[in-house]
Structure 1
Amino acid sequence: MNIKKKIGLEGVRFFAYHGFYPEEQILGNEFIVDIITEMDVLSDGDDELANTVNYERLFEIAALQMKKTQKLLETVAIGILNTIKEEFPSLDTIRISIRKTRLPLEGEINNSLVEFTYRK
């Protein structure tokens, strides 16, 4: 059987203190995190959490990394990705994106974005 499944979280909002500029690390900002994973279906009709990805655990991993203030969102995203990869070695693909909603820039901008994709 060669069936793939995707499991993830989209639009998870965190308030955190990431940013290159000192004022960003003082004032904080809203960040939106998406985590999408993909893996083979291990068995047809299996109803066991051990044979899938627990999205509650995905949230806990993201929340822990978001609490660690970093200058670059790339550092945060890689931390999330590497932790998920270690904890769920059966995953074929992991995609992490983080958007920052308020930017220290002139102009009308919805958000900035960093995204990483791991493929086995």
Structure 2
Amino acid sequence: MSHFKQTVALRDVKCFAMHGYYPEEQLIGNHFIIDLVTEFTPKGFDDELAQTVNYEDLNLVIREEMENTQKLLETVLKNIISKVIELYPFVDLIEASIRKLNPPMPGQIGHSFVKLTYTSTPAI
């Protein structure tokens, strides 16, 4: 018997937000790119949206959390993942990552990067 795993994701979601540890970052803001990946065992294949993760919901969660200013990008990602779990408790894996474009520090830096991964079962 075969088993399916399904992935529903949004890649390269672009946002402007006021996240940052330093007060000036929360005043001037920055550009961010977010990736959000979900993985789960599909409930069925009857061509109904209720059988899957709706990526419109994922986009809404990202947009809402990007408007909620935080000092740490880790906090933003944790909040995104928590909301996805609330909406879709059957999800087995969630990977959320965020890139801050041109972080305010000396040198030419394309982006900083933070990634957080949730699994419904603890690692062994």
Please indicate, yes or no, whether the TM-score normalized by the shorter chain is above 0.5. yes
Unaligned runs of 5+ in 2: none
Question: 1:54 offset after TM fit, Å?
Answer: 0.4
CA distance in 2, matches of 1:65, 1:14: 11
Give the secondary structure class of the aligned counterpart of 2:39: strand
Quick one: percent identity of the two aligned structures? 46
Distance 1:104 1:11 in 2: 21
Give me the whole-angstrom Cα distance separating, in 2, the residues matched to 1:83 and 1:13: 19
Point out 4+ residue stretches in structure 1 off by more than 4 angstroms. none
Structure 1 residue 39 and structure 2 residue 50: aligned?
Answer: no
Mapping 1:1-120, distance limit 5 Å = 1-43=2-44, 45-120=45-120
Query: What is the DSSP-based 3-state SS (H/G/I as helix, E as strand, rest coil) of the residue aligned with 1:65?
Result: helix
Q: Indicate the SS of the match to 1:104.
A: coil
Give CA deviations for 1:38-74 in whole Å, capped at 9, x if unaligned.
011222x320000100000000011101001111111
TM-score by length of 2: 0.93
Letter in 2 for 1:28: G
**Distance (whole Å) between structure 2 residues aligned to residue 62 and residue 103 of structure 1:** 20
Rounded to whole Å, the distance in 1 between the matches of 2:38 and 2:66 is 19
| Cα drift, residue 8 of structure 1 | 0.6
Alignment RMSD, CA only?
0.9
| Structure 1 counterpart SS, 2:70 | coil
1:2, distance to aligned residue in structure 2 (A)? 1.3
- Residues 2, 41 of structure 1: 8 Å contact kept: no
Which residues of structure 1 form unaligned runs of 5+?
none
